[in-house]
Structure 1
Amino acid sequence: MENIRLLDCTLRDGGYINQWDFGEKTIQSIIARLTEAGADIIEIGFLRNCTWDKDKTVFSSIRELKKLLPVNPGETRFAAMALHNQYDVENLEPCDGSVEIIRVTFHDYDIDEGLAFCAKVKEKGYQLFVNPINIMGYSDRQLLDLLEKVNRLHPYGFSIVDTFGSMTGKELIRIYSLCENNLEKDIVLGLHLHENMAQSFSLAQSFLKMREPARSCILDASLNGMGRVPGNLCIELIMDYLNKHFGKSYDIDPVLDAIEESISPIKKLEPWGYMAEYFLSAKYNLHRNYAEYLLTKGSLSSRDMHQILQMIPEEKKSVFDQKYMEYLYHQYENHTVSDEKTLEALKKAFSGKKVLLLAPGPGLEKYRRQTEEYRKAQSPISVSVNFFYDRQEDGYAFFSNSKRFQEYRSLRKSGIQVILTSNISSGIRPQDHVINLYRLSSEEEGSGNSGILLLKLMVLLGVKEAALAGFDGYRKGGKNYLPGYFGGFSGTPLGDNQKIAGEIKKIREKLPVTFVTPSVYEEEM
């Protein structure tokens, strides 16, 4: 079945995980393993306007790329990709046969510019592959118009690229049918899938079943699915499937060796794979940067992200607009409630009192004796921050992080009252105290930290003194949370220690703040 081939895109698409910094020896090893396995085509990386680094798979010329190719590649062919507006095609040398295929990408808003670039690639003797970004964003009419232009150019191949991982089986049938019936029969048809909805392998099988036998096709895949999160079709899976059902003879063992030797170590540091947040971006056919932007906030639950992502209008979906995303995020976070009576009740409870604020740093347990001595001597009101503390029998629990509240709300204790900020929208009980987030937050650096927000609330409530326990700060390579809380999450970047310490110093001008347990913040002040 020579008209079904596989293209491995690990060194190109996988580079989004590690900034294409595989290391020279690893690049050569991956190529050698894939060649040994019988991979039909290996995409070595991107062509870009850049200064070449021999350890990276981003190149400014084919001459640089050739230095990584094996002397005896067997039947394996090599490819590179260029985004038309990120590479000067005049720097592309005429094809000498070492790299035969150049794949060119462009958006739906710059089709003509992209195809003009494609024409120049073809003129230089390369087998041209046209890879339009986000084919799911094309209507039938738009796709037919594009295919008409592609036929006039007559490239070697044309790819169905599911950029945002939003394709379903029904959509694949629609797009494949349009391509099969309107693309010149000698143009190879490619398929590039993503794992947003955990169905790339299933869609690949469907594609192979529906394809016309006379049409040559190429499927993209990568080692262990390595690619921009959530990842790609796994080449080891599709190789095995083609061996079993289409008479192929790929050698899986070298692929498994490559995964073990070169890919698994990267995945331990920078994991990829299905994530619910990327399913949500795919559900609405959104640029994945929208989901990634919200993930960086660290305080949003999947439910929150769902609510925000569905507000993005059609005209904003395919190209990431950070300013607009920031607007939606702040609009969502600044949801307001009527909190005057709540504030009045809390002021009656807290005004003029001493408080003991409990954060989930390891020091809370390590120095428990000091905390207990303070509690017995001062009789403060205890307030935990973003968790329900097992040893706390009375007082309050404060949550401003929606993700943490959704994670731990089932652990509520009967003797603990709950204070929430207004950005938390679900799981609220009638007796909970909800405070408008805008009363506590500001644009100042560090002010989004939940401990800082709680201290600001204490100022607002007129407390007499605040003592901090478990506010350890963040240490590189250390355990930053109590065992059993927040999983393996390592915490805020170390640079925030200074920011948070600065915020505490400002708050001390209005409220006496002491540390009951050791803290990096105290060291920074």
Structure 2
Amino acid sequence: MKNNNLIKILDCTLRDGGYVNNWEFSLESTKAIVKALIDSNIEIVECGFVNQKHKNSSDSTVFSEISQVNELLLSLDRDIESTDFCVMVNKGDLDIDSLPSYNKKSGPVNMIRYAFHRKDWREALDDIEILIEKKYRVYVQPMVTLSYSDTELLEMLTEVNKYNVYAMYIVDSFGAMFGDDFRRLHYLFENNLKKHIRLGYHSHNNLQLAYSNAIDFIQIKDFEREIIIDSSIQGMGRGAGNLTTELIANFLNKKKSTEYNIVPLLEIIDKYLESIYRENYWGYSIAHFLSASFNCHPNYSTFLVNKKNLSIVDIQKILGLLDNGEKKNFNKHRIEELYLNFKSNVDLPINFSVDFFKDQNILVLAPGPSLISQKENVEKFINTKKPLTIAVNHIPKNFKPSYFFFSNQKRYDKFIEEIEPEKAIITTNIHVNSDSSNYKVVDYNTLATKTSNKNDNVTILLLNLLIDQKVKEVYLAGFDGYKFDSDNYSYTEYDRIVERKVMEQQNENIIVSLNELREKLSINFITDSVYK
């Protein structure tokens, strides 16, 4: 291997890429990825997390002990002497005192990347000192480096200089660094970090700047200092993903005369990662742009975007309600609270009669494709039972509903011009452009908080309304449930959920809500559904 000794690539596919598939790499794929990285001459391979709270599995790259990583590496049919291997430990996930000291005879893992949040950096240095005493090469990983003030960074660098750490990192956890942000941090680190300490850069690609910032890092590096650039194969990583290993390796081959072998990386993409990518997309998205713009944890914006009922302006307003202390760590309860409060904070007057649906025989027409594929079943039911029909968040192609129930602003905006106002029932979160007295209005917050999981799926909201109206029995058509790789709507809908995990979670939430509602309401399906 003839690579530049002062520029090294650290591949983090098995660790950071694991956020995509919950670290469920099969033993076969894990070994194949490590061997491909060795064959590609990548200098440093990160094998995963070590977390003593985790129950170890041979098909996972979260390990409970470093010995398990060593055992895996020693089983490879490769010469591993020329490659360095590391693991990441998040502060609090491992009892540092009980960790065995590094012994070359035990295995090749001699590097630990120790990650911590801003509030914990002083305590983290105590753990780092112990790791160094145990003969490990320690990478210092201050997550969300942009969240530190210059004064805090200078203080931390001064303290880090007192230890014999192997590397100090600039960590762009939220992919929020522009070029000038990176250069400012690089200047601080470069001019205040001892020369023997390597400088690393870990990026995320929310703003699509990981590649350009990495090239900038290479071009402005100090001649004497070794630098480490983190990347992952195919950019695999949570959300918008990471710097792409094959791209940065190719750049170094072209511009720095290194000899990285790109083909084994492409083979891994073709054989293993492409299928994961199709089921668990990573890459640029609106959600990741928004998280970078607000410098907040990407799960906040992803949660709101996946609701599929908020405008971008509304999402920005909700993200703007997070204070700086809340932005760094995802708190699902907090974002659910902000979401619910935002949608409940409206002035639309409630004018719906408390017994409007009382004693009615009711059929709900949800927008699933079975409304078309099983049209005959629905028509037969309507002709026989003569029910009052309520379409939710859409206009059915083959039926003429008695009423239309809308709780989703986007769907309302799409269909409302085709609906007679006196047939529209809307929730109070809907913004209307005409006289609201033309519509029947029900309270969103009341309906959305009736189930334990505060489910505001439109059909669940309507069922809650029917229960309030003393309805005892209801029939459902087109409430199919979400299916991956299927058209989940009976009409053309572009603004839809596409990720398998999100679909599965939506289905689980609806099942929980339906089980609660069945105690108060007889729910009958006349078309196929995953919720039966």
Settle same-fold status: TM greater than 0.5.
yes
Matching residue within 426, 446, 452 for 1:420: 426
Q: Per the alignment, in what secondary structure is the counterpart of residue 332 of structure 1? A: helix
Q: Which residue of 2 aligns with 1:469?
A: 477
| Shift in Å, 1:378 | 7.2
Alignment of 1:32-71 (within 5 A): 32-49=35-52, 50-69=54-73, 70=76, 71=78
- For 2:146 and 2:322, how far apart are their aligned partners in 1? 17
| Shift in Å, 1:62 | 3.4
- 1:396-450 deviation digits (Å, cap 9, x = unpaired): 4322234x52xx733555344443323345x755567353202423342475331
| Shift in Å, 1:475 | 7.5
Identity among equivalent positions (%) equals: 34
Q: Per the alignment, in what secondary structure is the counterpart of residue 327 of structure 1? A: helix
- For 2:404 and 2:206, how far apart are their aligned partners in 1? 36
| Shift in Å, 1:113 | 1.6
- For 1:47 and 1:311, how far apart are their aligned partners in 2? 35
| Shift in Å, 1:317 | 2.0
Q: Per the alignment, in what secondary structure is the counterpart of residue 119 of structure 2? A: coil
- For 1:481 and 1:202, how far apart are their aligned partners in 2? 40
Matching residue within 214, 219, 225 for 2:224: 214
- For 1:196 and 1:336, how far apart are their aligned partners in 2? 33
Matching residue within 169, 192, 195 for 1:185: 195
- For 2:527 and 2:323, how far apart are their aligned partners in 1? 49
| Shift in Å, 1:333 | 2.7
Q: Per the alignment, in what secondary structure is the counterpart of residue 86 of structure 1? A: coil
| Shift in Å, 1:146 | 0.7
Aligned partner letter, 2:86: A
Aligned partner letter, 2:129: A
- 1:357-392 deviation digits (Å, cap 9, x = unpaired): 311223311332343455567776643212232335
CA RMSD of aligned residues (A): 3.3
Q: Does the aligned pair in 2 maintain the 1:336–1:437 contact within 8 Å?
A: no
Q: Per the alignment, in what secondary structure is the counterpart of residue 21 of structure 1? A: coil
Matching residue within 513, 517, 520 for 1:503: 517
- For 1:65 and 1:462, how far apart are their aligned partners in 2? 60
Q: Does 1:13 align with 2:16?
A: yes
Aligned partner letter, 1:107: H
Q: Which residue of 2 aligns with 1:102?
A: 112
Matching residue within 159, 167, 188 for 2:169: 159
| Range 231-240 or range 468-477, more displaced | 468-477
Q: Which residue of 2 aligns with 1:27?
A: 30
- For 1:209 and 1:23, how far apart are their aligned partners in 2? 38
- CA distance change for structure 1 residues 308 and 158 in 2, over 3 Å: closer, same or farther? same
Q: Per the alignment, in what secondary structure is the counterpart of residue 2 of structure 1? A: coil
Q: Per the alignment, in what secondary structure is the counterpart of residue 87 of structure 1? A: coil
- For 1:484 and 1:141, how far apart are their aligned partners in 2? 54
- 1:23-65 deviation digits (Å, cap 9, x = unpaired): 2222111111111111011111222214543332233443321
| Range 485-494 or range 460-469, more displaced | 460-469
- CA distance change for structure 1 residues 315 and 51 in 2, over 3 Å: closer, same or farther? closer
Alignment of 1:296-375 (within 5 A): 299-340=309-350, 342-343=351-352, 356-372=363-379, 375=382
- CA distance change for structure 1 residues 315 and 379 in 2, over 3 Å: closer, same or farther? same
| Shift in Å, 1:355 | 5.3
Q: Which residue of 2 aligns with 1:196?
A: 206
Q: Does 1:448 align with 2:448?
A: no
Q: Does the aligned pair in 1 maintain the 2:481–2:507 contact within 8 Å?
A: no
- For 2:483 and 2:268, how far apart are their aligned partners in 1? 34
Aligned partner letter, 2:101: E
- CA distance change for structure 1 residues 321 and 377 in 2, over 3 Å: closer, same or farther? closer
Q: Which runs of 5+ in 2 are unaligned?
A: none
- For 1:464 and 1:122, how far apart are their aligned partners in 2? 68
| Shift in Å, 1:189 | 0.7
- 1:65-102 deviation digits (Å, cap 9, x = unpaired): 12222441263221122223211223132242722322
| Shift in Å, 1:279 | 2.0
| Shift in Å, 1:209 | 2.4
- CA distance change for structure 1 residues 503 and 160 in 2, over 3 Å: closer, same or farther? same
- For 2:473 and 2:31, how far apart are their aligned partners in 1? 62
- For 2:407 and 2:483, how far apart are their aligned partners in 1? 23
Q: Which residue of 2 aligns with 1:493?
A: 507
Q: Does the aligned pair in 1 maintain the 2:368–2:490 contact within 8 Å?
A: yes
State the TM-score, normalized to the length of structure 2: 0.85
- For 2:474 and 2:62, how far apart are their aligned partners in 1? 53
| Shift in Å, 1:172 | 0.8
- CA distance change for structure 1 residues 51 and 370 in 2, over 3 Å: closer, same or farther? closer
- For 1:488 and 1:388, how far apart are their aligned partners in 2? 22
- CA distance change for structure 1 residues 400 and 219 in 2, over 3 Å: closer, same or farther? same
- CA distance change for structure 1 residues 452 and 288 in 2, over 3 Å: closer, same or farther? closer
- CA distance change for structure 1 residues 105 and 435 in 2, over 3 Å: closer, same or farther? same
| Shift in Å, 1:171 | 0.9
Q: Per the alignment, in what secondary structure is the counterpart of residue 398 of structure 1? A: strand
Q: Does 1:438 align with 2:448?
A: no
- For 1:246 and 1:6, how far apart are their aligned partners in 2? 13
- 1:88-131 deviation digits (Å, cap 9, x = unpaired): 22313224272232221122111122111111222222222111
Q: Per the alignment, in what secondary structure is the counterpart of residue 109 of structure 2? A: coil
- For 2:339 and 2:255, how far apart are their aligned partners in 1? 48
Q: Per the alignment, in what secondary structure is the counterpart of residue 92 of structure 2? A: helix
| Range 106-115 or range 378-387, more displaced | 378-387
| Range 207-216 or range 189-198, more displaced | 207-216
Q: Which residue of 2 aligns with 1:92?
A: 100
| Shift in Å, 1:217 | 0.7
Q: Per the alignment, in what secondary structure is the counterpart of residue 45 of structure 1? A: strand
Q: Per the alignment, in what secondary structure is the counterpart of residue 387 of structure 1? A: coil
Aligned partner letter, 2:427: T
Alignment of 1:75-86 (within 5 A): 75-86=82-93
- For 2:135 and 2:512, how far apart are their aligned partners in 1? 57
- For 2:62 and 2:468, how far apart are their aligned partners in 1? 54
Aligned partner letter, 1:343: F
